[in-house]
Amino acid sequence: MRELLDTVRAWQAEGVSLGRAVVVRTFGSAPRPEGAVLVVTADGRLAGSVSGGCVEGAASEEIQAARRDGLCRVIRYGISDEQAWDVGLACGGTIDVLVEPSLRPEVVDAAGRTSGSVVVIPLPADAPDAAPGPRRPGSGETPAPAFGVAEDGTLRGSTGLPDADAAIVAAAGKVLAEGGSVTVAAAGRQFFLEGYPAPPRLVVVGGVQVAIPLVRLARELGYLTVVVDARAAFATRERFPEVDRLVVGWPDEVADEIGLGPGDAIAVLTHDVKFDEPAIITGLRRGCRYVGAVGSRRTQADRRARLRAAGVTDAELARLHGPIGLDLGGRAPAETALAIMAEVVAERHGGSGAPLRVLAETKATA
C-alpha cells in the first residue's frame, strides 16, 4: 500500500471515491503476497495489483459491485499456470482477496506513518478458511470497524475477548518484526493483520554525485533517506530534491540529532578521512544494521589500521562493508548507487548477493 500512497492521496484530493482489494491469504506459488493491494476509483482508474495481472479485471469488477451494495467479501481466485504465463509470470497459485467498497482511512494513515503499526481488519463471517480448495464467493457483509496494534504492542481497539486480543497482539509483533501481512483466527472469526513496519532508513554521509541516484533508488525501495555533510554547498535541496532530511554537520556530532541507531543503514561516500572515519566509528558503535564506506582495497587496509588504532575492535571491523557495494561491474554514478543499494537490501533480508541461477543450481544438486 505504501507504494500507492502518492497516487491514492492525489485521487483523494480530487474528491473521487476509492474501493480496494487486498490479498489476505495465498496458497501455492501465488504471484503476489499477502498485503498486495489493488485500488480502483469510481470512474475505473486503478493502481496496484493483487495478482500481477491475472485477475485484476475480475477484482476491479468486484470492487465496483461492492461499491454498489456497500458490502465486503472474500473471494478465492485460482490462478492457473496458463493464466500466469499470459501476463508474464512463471506460475499460478490460489489467492484469497478481501474486496471492500471503500478505502479505510486507518490503512492510509498507517501507510503514511514513519512508526510501525498493524491494521487489524475483521473478515466477513463467511470468509473461506485456511483449507485450500475451490470456494464460492461469500454473500458479503457490512465492513466491520478496523482496529490497530502499535509498534510497542499497544492495542488500539479490541475484539472484546482478552485471549483473542492477546493472540492478535502476538501475531502483530511477528508481522512488525518480519514484515508482511497475515490472516489469523481468533474468537471464532478471522482477522487480517495488515502490517506496516517502520520504514527502513538510509543515512548517506557525503552529498557527492553518487549520493544523488542513491537517494533516489533508496526512496523507490521504500527507505527514508537522510543526507549528512558538513559542507553546506553539498547538502542542498537543489542537489537532493527528494531526500527526506538534509543535515549540515559532522556525522559523529549529529548522530543524536538524527537518532542514528540499529535500524539504520549508513553509506559513507566522502573519500575524506576526517569525514569517513568518525562516521564509520559512530555507525559501528551505535549498532547500525549496515555500515559501508567507499575506497579502494589499499584505502580500506590503511583505514582499518587507523580504526584499530582508534580502538575499533576486530568484531566491529568485521561488520564494515568496504569497499562498499556488490560487484556489478559498472562505474557510472547510477551504477555505483545500484551496487550499494543492492548490498544494503541483501544485508537487510539476509540475501547472499549471489545470482539466483547459481542458487537454483546449488539447490538442484543438493
189-229: per-residue pLDDT in tens? 999 999 999 889 999 999 999 999 999 999 999 899 999 99
The backbone torsions φ and ψ at residue 25, rounded to the nearest 5 degrees and listed phi first, read -160, 145
Q: Could you tell me if 337 and 212 lie in one domain?
A: yes
pLDDT digit string (tens) for 67-91? 999 999 999 888 665 655 554 555 6
The per-residue pLDDT for 357 is: 82
Task: Please give the pLDDT value at position 134.
Answer: 64
Whole-angstrom Cα distance, residue 58 to residue 274? 59
Q: Is the pLDDT of residue 285 over 70?
A: yes
Q: What is the structure's pLDDT at 16?
A: 92
Q: Which three cell numbers stand for residue 171?
A: 501475531
Of 148, 163, 196, which marks where a domain is finished? Answer: 196
pLDDT at 216: 96
Q: Is residue 159 pLDDT above 70, yes or no?
A: yes
Q: Around Cβ 112, how many Cβ atoms within 10 Å?
A: 13
- Give yes or no: residues 288 and 158 share one domain: no
Report the pLDDT value the prediction gives residue 86, as an integer from 0 to 100: 55
Ramachandran bin of 15, using left for φ above 0, alpha for ψ from -120 to 50, beta for the remaining angles: left
Report the number of distinct structural domains present in the chain.
Answer: 2
pLDDT tens-place string over residues 295-352: 888 888 899 999 999 999 999 999 999 999 999 999 999 999 999 999 999 999 889 8
- Together in a domain, 246 and 165: no
Range of the structural domain that residue 168 is part of: 2-129+140-196
Strands 189-196 and 182-186, by their bridges, are: antiparallel
The string of pLDDT tens digits covering residues 244-274 is 999 999 988 999 999 999 989 999 999 888 8
359 lies in some domain: no
In the prediction, which pLDDT does 54 show?
Answer: 78
The per-residue pLDDT of the chain, averaged, comes to: 90
Domain end residue (candidates: 173, 196, 219): 196
Is the separation of the CB atoms in 167 and 191 below 8 Å? Answer: no
Query: Do 172 and 251 fall within a single domain?
Result: no
pLDDT band at 137 (very low <50, low <70, confident <90, very high): low
Does residue 100 share a domain with residue 223?
no
Minimum mean pLDDT range among 17-31, 60-74, 233-247, 256-270 = 17-31
> Do 213 and 184 share a domain, yes or no?
no
145 and 48 assigned to the same domain: yes
Contact 268, 252 (CB under 8 A): no
On whether both 281 and 317 belong to a single domain, the answer is: yes
User: Both 183 and 207 in a single domain?
Assistant: no
pLDDT, residue 65, reads 94
Pair 205, 297 in one domain: yes
Is pLDDT of 233 > 60?
yes
157 and 25 housed in the same domain? yes
Q: For residue 190, which of 123, 118, 119 has the smallest C-alpha distance?
A: 123
Q: Taking the model in full, what pTM does it have? A: 0.76
pLDDT, mean of residues 285-293? 95
Amino acid at 107: V
In eight-state DSSP terms, residue 270 is -
Q: Residue 31: its pLDDT value, please? A: 77
| Nearest alpha carbon to residue 43 among 14, 16, 20 | 16
DSSP tag of 241: T
67 and 172 both lie in a single domain: yes
- The predicted structure's pLDDT at residue 282: 95
For residue 307, give the CATH number of its domain. 3.40.50.720
